[in-house]
Structure 1
Amino acid sequence: MDPSLRRYAVFYFFYYAALGAYTPYIGRWVDALGHGGFVVGGMLGLWYGTRIVAPPAWAALTGRSARPGEWFFAGCVATLLCFAGFLFTHQAWALLAVMAAFGLFYNAVMPQFEAMTLTALGPRPELYGRLRVWGSIGFLFVAGSYGALMDRVGDAWFPWLVLPLFAGMVAAAWPHRGDRPPEAAPGVADAGHLFKRPGVRRFLLVALLMQVGFGPFYVFYTLHLQAAGHSGAAIGALWAIGVLIEIAMFWQAPRLITRFGAGPLLMACLGVTVLRWALVAAFAESFTLMALAQATHALSFATFHACCMRLISDYFPGRRAAAGQSLLYGFSSGVGGVLGAGLAALAWESAGGGPLAFALGALVTALAWGVYALRRPVPAA
């Protein structure tokens, strides 16, 4: 790896290591506090809801700064301080309040960092996957081990186990304080004009629907597997399988995109994801089939994400990179995440429970496949 790019890999590692504890196990912690599915869904709904507000607001602040790296570091420090609030909260209203503050900062910094990374790569965007893979390694290390660790020390220790990971994220952000804004691309129109380009709105809708389909996975996958009789160690192993496959695919994604194109690969990812959620809905008791379903994470997440990064860099080049990343995060992860968490919570609390939640995830992803199948390919400008 180019030594000048190592600091980007280090930040990805710690950011996603913290996410590797947060995403799989915060629902387990909230459930252990005695709260039901609506509180768990509300927590994750707020998490995604802040993606609607935080990235564009943060982009507006950093876009006016000559030293956006200092804003980036400040956002990471605020993330650490807000997460520390979970050490002292147990009531539902307090948990939701801390989540809102925490999500506002945690969700603000990654779109900025993605834009900083693409700027650093310059004419080599195909190397993005080689940096982003270190985030997957961090996620793997934590998600694969914290299930068994919480079995041993108890669910109540969850905030204390995660806090050091956010401290590591702050340390990894320190070298980026002096990062400069990207240079303007010649002839680039404003972001509003680019939003109207053929294909942009359809792409964003597909990304939103894909995120809605992922709602049951991010909110209730761990609890769904627990209800099916799997231990914390087995659940951690299943999370690890998905991320191991994801890591391998991130290394291959640039080659696949070059060979097949981002659009056709995106469509294949959607089709595989429909099958994945159908398996999780119907066969949660089978560790073997769950391991097979997790193996499809290579396409459902890794390749899909790499394709999105390639397409968004084409649609929003130069100084519009941060605006494009914020739009993608806010529209897909934000709106899509809120809708996905809400849909999952309603299904979880109904008689259908986890199987219904994941069946709905498969249905929404099938709709995304249909929407993208009807697109008219246009040449990138």
Structure 2
Amino acid sequence: MHASLRPFAVFYFWYYAALGAYTPYVGRWVDAMGHGGFVVGAMLGLWYGTRIVAPPAWAALTGRSARPGEWFVAGCVATLLCFAGFLFTREPWALLGVMAVFGLFYNAVMPQFEAMTLAALGPAPEQYGRLRVWGSVGFLLVAGSFGALMDRVGALAFPWLTLPLFAAMALAAWPHRHDRPPPPAPGVGEAGHLFRRPGVRRFLMVAMLMQLGFGPFYVFYTLHLQAAGHSGAAIGALWSIGVLIEIAMFWQAPRLIARLGAGPLLSACLGVTVLRWALVAAFADSLWIMALAQCTHALSFATFHACCMRLITDYFPGRRAAAGQSLLYGFSSGVGGVLGAGLAALMWERAGGGPAAFAAGAVVTALAWLVYALRRPAPAQA
């Protein structure tokens, strides 16, 4: 890795290390305080909901600034300060209030950073996966250890255990304070015009449905496995398996995309993910089947995400990269995340718990596959 790219890898590491504590275990913390599935779902739903508002608002602010890197650092520091609010909250409405302001900043900075990363890569965007893989390493180390750690010290210690990770993320942002925006691409129209380009809306719809199908996984996977009798250490190991295979695939993704094309790979990822959620719904008590299902994370997440990043550089080149990232975050992680968390909470509380929630995830992902399969080939889709 070139020395100029190392600060990008470091930030990815700490951003996703913090996420490796937050996403798998915040539900366990909320559950340990005595709150039910709807509060857990609302926490994660609000987390994803801020992805609809935060990225475009943040992009508008940073886009007008001559020093966008300083805005980036400020956003990371604000994320740290807002997360500290969880140290003093226990009631549902207080939790949701802190979640709203924390999510606004945490979800704002990554689309900006992704655009900065693509600008730094220049004419080699296919090498993105080899930087992003360090985020997976950070997620792996934390997600794999937090289950056993919370078994030992108690789930209520979650905010204290996680806060240092956000402090490290803020420090890792500092070297990027002087990063510049991407150079303009000649002949590129407005983002609204690009949104109407053939294939863009279908692509965003598929990304949204894929994220919606992931809702039960992000909200209730840890609690689903806990209900099936697995220990915190075993649950952490299962999270680790998924991320380990994800890391391996991120290294191979550039070669696969170059050989097979982002479009066909995207379709394969959707099909495999349908099978994954069906297995999690039906065989949660089997550690070996759950380990096998986690291995498919290589396609469900790593390859799918790398394909999306490859396609977004076609649809939104140059300075439009930030607008493209904001749209992708808004549609997939934002709308898809909110709907996915709501669907998961409803199924968990009203339709039979984890099996029903993950079965619903399989159905939604099958719909995403169908939508993408009916696309008309477009030159932009490699």
TM-score tier (shorter): over 0.9
Q: Is 1:233 the equivalent of 2:270? A: no
Aligned partner of 2:7 in structure 1 is 7
Aligned partner of 1:338 in structure 2 is 338
Name the count of aligned residue pairs: 381
Aligned partner of 2:177 in structure 1 is 177
Q: Which amino acid aligns with 1:160?
A: W
Once residues 150 and 265 of structure 1 are traced to their aligned partners in structure 2, the CA distance between those partners, rounded to angstroms, is: 37
Q: Which amino acid aligns with 1:321?
A: A
Aligned partner of 2:29 in structure 1 is 29
Q: How is 1:250-329 mapped onto 2 (pairs within 5 angstroms)?
A: 250-329=250-329
Aligned partner of 1:127 in structure 2 is 127
SS at the partner of 2:229?
coil
**Which 5+ residue runs of structure 2 have no aligned equivalent?**
none
Q: Which amino acid aligns with 2:26?
A: I
Aligned partner of 2:211 in structure 1 is 211
Once residues 118 and 352 of structure 1 are traced to their aligned partners in structure 2, the CA distance between those partners, rounded to angstroms, is: 43
Aligned-pair CA distance for 1:240: 0.1
Aligned-pair CA distance for 1:119: 0.2
Q: How is 1:68-217 mapped onto 2 (pairs within 5 angstroms)?
A: 68-217=68-217
Cα 1:332–1:351 shift into 2, 3 Å: closer
Q: Is 1:357 the equivalent of 2:352? A: no
Once residues 154 and 339 of structure 2 are traced to their aligned partners in structure 1, the CA distance between those partners, rounded to angstroms, is: 31
Aligned-pair CA distance for 1:277: 0.1
Per-residue CA deviation, residues 48-74 of structure 1 (Å, 9 max, x unaligned), is: 000000000000000001110000000
Once residues 156 and 49 of structure 1 are traced to their aligned partners in structure 2, the CA distance between those partners, rounded to angstroms, is: 25
Q: Which amino acid aligns with 1:110?
A: M
SS at the partner of 1:189?
coil
Aligned-pair CA distance for 1:350: 1.4
Q: Which amino acid aligns with 1:267?
A: S
Q: Which amino acid aligns with 1:375?
A: R
Aligned-pair CA distance for 1:142: 0.1
Aligned-pair CA distance for 1:380: 2.0
Per-residue CA deviation, residues 88-121 of structure 1 (Å, 9 max, x unaligned), is: 0000000000000000000000000000000000
Once residues 215 and 308 of structure 1 are traced to their aligned partners in structure 2, the CA distance between those partners, rounded to angstroms, is: 19
Once residues 2 and 199 of structure 1 are traced to their aligned partners in structure 2, the CA distance between those partners, rounded to angstroms, is: 34
Aligned-pair CA distance for 1:191: 0.2
Q: Which amino acid aligns with 1:16?
A: Y
Per-residue CA deviation, residues 118-168 of structure 1 (Å, 9 max, x unaligned), is: 000000101100000000000000000000000001111100000000000
Aligned partner of 1:55 in structure 2 is 55
Q: Which amino acid aligns with 1:212?
A: L
Per-residue CA deviation, residues 333-369 of structure 1 (Å, 9 max, x unaligned), is: 1000000000000000014111000000000000000
Q: Which amino acid aligns with 1:208?
A: M
Q: Which amino acid aligns with 2:69?
A: G
Q: Which amino acid aligns with 1:128?
A: Y
What is the aligned-residue identity percentage?
86
Aligned partner of 2:378 in structure 1 is 378
SS at the partner of 1:118?
helix
Q: Which amino acid aligns with 1:300?
A: S
Aligned-pair CA distance for 1:280: 0.2
Once residues 131 and 318 of structure 1 are traced to their aligned partners in structure 2, the CA distance between those partners, rounded to angstroms, is: 19
Cα 1:351–1:371 shift into 2, 3 Å: closer
**Which 5+ residue runs of structure 1 have no aligned equivalent?**
none
Q: TM-score, normalised by structure 2?
A: 0.99
Once residues 64 and 40 of structure 1 are traced to their aligned partners in structure 2, the CA distance between those partners, rounded to angstroms, is: 37
Per-residue CA deviation, residues 187-243 of structure 1 (Å, 9 max, x unaligned), is: 000000000000000000000000000000000000000000000000000000000
Per-residue CA deviation, residues 31-52 of structure 1 (Å, 9 max, x unaligned), is: 0000000000000000000000
Once residues 222 and 372 of structure 2 are traced to their aligned partners in structure 1, the CA distance between those partners, rounded to angstroms, is: 30
RMSD: 0.6
Q: Which amino acid aligns with 2:72?
A: F
Once residues 196 and 258 of structure 2 are traced to their aligned partners in structure 1, the CA distance between those partners, rounded to angstroms, is: 26
Once residues 348 and 226 of structure 2 are traced to their aligned partners in structure 1, the CA distance between those partners, rounded to angstroms, is: 14
Aligned-pair CA distance for 1:19: 0.1
Which structure 1 residue ranges, 4+ long, deviate > 3 Å from structure 2? none
Q: Which amino acid aligns with 2:28?
A: R
Q: Which amino acid aligns with 1:183?
A: P
